[in-house]
């Protein structure tokens, strides 16, 4: 069975969420260990799972289309002037 990129991202996210939940579960017995589990789970979400998801979601898209530059500002202003006439 071949693992897909989406499966890896889902596994990392699930492991991070389970780590956070386990950290809250053992918080009463071992506070330092609980904080490590919560911290590693949070870091896993924000430093591993989110970049993997963003890479997958933005693959094949032109970044220049989403940047705010003079050309895109003119396009937005032209669209606004067309839409406001109907009100």
Q: Could you tell me if residue 19 is inside a domain?
A: yes
Question: Per-residue confidence at 28, pLDDT binned at 50, 70, 90?
Answer: very high
Q: Could you tell me if residue 9 is inside a domain?
A: yes
Question: Per-residue confidence at 1, pLDDT binned at 50, 70, 90?
Answer: low
Question: Per-residue confidence at 23, pLDDT binned at 50, 70, 90?
Answer: very high
Is the CB of residue 53 less than 8 Å from the CB of residue 6? no
Question: Per-residue confidence at 87, pLDDT binned at 50, 70, 90?
Answer: low
**Residue listed under structure tokens 């997958």:** 56
DSSP 63: G
End-to-end CA distance of the chain: 57
Is the CB of residue 54 less than 8 Å from the CB of residue 68? no
Domain containing 36 equals 5-61
Q: What are the tens digits of pLDDT across the range 42-71? A: 999 999 999 999 999 888 888 877 788 888
| Count: domains in the chain | 1
Is the CB of residue 42 less than 8 Å from the CB of residue 16? yes
């Amino acid at each position: 069975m071949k693992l897909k990129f989406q499966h890896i991202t889902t596994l990392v996210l699930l492991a991070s969420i389970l780590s956070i939940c386990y950290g809250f579960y053992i918080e009463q017995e071992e506070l330092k260990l609980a904080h490590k589990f919560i911290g590693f789970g949070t870091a896993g979400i924000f430093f591993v799972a989110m970049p993997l998801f963003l890479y997958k979601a933005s693959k094949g898209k032109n970044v220049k289309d989403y940047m705010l530059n003079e050309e895109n500002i003119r396009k937005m202003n032209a669209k606004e002037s067309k839409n406001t006439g109907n009100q």
